[in-house]
Copies of this chain bind each other. A is one copy, B any other.
Amino acid sequence: MTSAAPSLPVTAADVRAAHERLRGHAVRTPLLEVPALNAAAGGRVLVKCENLQREGSFKYRGAFNRLVQIAPAERARGVVAWSSGNHAQGVAAAARDLGMPAAIVMPSDAPAVKMDNTRALGAEVVPYDRRRESREDIARRLCAERGAVLVPSFDDVDVIAGQGTAGLEIVEQACGTPLDQVLVCCGGGGLVAGIALAVKATSADTAVYAVEPAGYDDHARSLVSGRREKADTSRESLCDALLAPSPGEITFAINQRLLQGGLVVSDDEVRAAMRFAFLKLKLVVEPGGAVALAALLAGKLPTAQRTTVVVLSGGNVDGALFAQVLADGR
């Protein structure tokens, strides 16, 4: 890096400030070391369990860090977000904790369990027809009508700083163990950007990788080409949480500078990782939450004699799908 390199839109100091804001609100999720996983890797593996975060994914961190910075006088007008899953629940929970109204624009064919969970957290669910309506237009109209604040799911400096608190915890919980590499799932790139900011601030030599599902490897390709590539959004994927159409503008500005590269896993590799988590880690991990573990288990990069951090980003999976994944392994 030369001194001419432009400064990043989010800094490690922003992540530390978010960490203070989240104290007593987000769960400090465990960083586990499991002998069976060390054996599989031939090295040390530390597992950051964001599936054990509030509402079952890391999303609460970024949502709370964004919402808590809305001026008290503006809070009564509430927040609006669009999401079919984890961001919806993270925003709804943070809004409830701060006494704010929340409206979440969700596809009318979203899984009932996700809509029910979002409503159970006190949010208003605004359904829309995915084939005929634009969720962005609906959300912006609601914001204009209500004077509410739009909360993006990844391309926002406060959201990225909030997600980065998971990385700060990793560094603290590793207690000085040198971390060779960190594997993080990647949809829009907010979690991996935040974690990279936090980890590389104290450990510049640690390699941070974005892990994506096959077909949605837009980050991996963008990191090679140097410009924001698009995913083939017509492709099916098990990883419903990671189907962003391209890297965010802010997230890519960070990830381009801080990431080592991208890794890509197949649906079958994801299923195998979910079964490994069930059998050996005793953890429930959703498909999108299992891609980093899948990359490690499938040998997408060397792990022997190294210390690798794997982030399990969420556990919001339907019972029927989970049972099917377990059955596939028999």
On whether the beta carbons of B27 and A278 are closer than 8 Å, the reply is no
**List of B residues within 8 angstroms of A59 by Cβ:** none
Are B315 and A319 closer than 8 Å at their CB atoms?
no
Q: How far is the CB of A293 from chain B (nearest CB, A)?
A: 14
**Total copies of this chain within the assembly:** 2
A285 closest partner in B (C-beta): B282
Pairwise interchain contact A326-B315, C-beta atoms closer than 8 A: no
Say yes or no: is A78 at the interface (Cβ < 8 Å to chain B): no
Q: Report the bound CA distance from A323 to B330 in whole Å.
A: 12
CB distance from A297 to the nearest CB of B (A): 17
A54 interfacial contact with B, CB 8 Å: yes
Partner of A330, one of B27, B283, B319: B319
Q: Is the CB of A319 within 8 A of B282?
A: no
Q: Does B278 lie within 8 Å of A322, measured CB to CB?
A: yes
- With an 8 Å Cβ cutoff, the count of chain A residues facing the other chain is 29
Residue of B nearest to A323 (CB): B323
Tell me whether A32 is interfacial, beta carbon within 8 Å: yes
A33 in contact (CB, < 8 A): yes
A282/B54 in contact, CB under 8 A? no
A35 on interface, CB distance cutoff 8 Å: yes
Known: A27-B32, A327-B323. A52 touches B281 (CB 8 A): yes
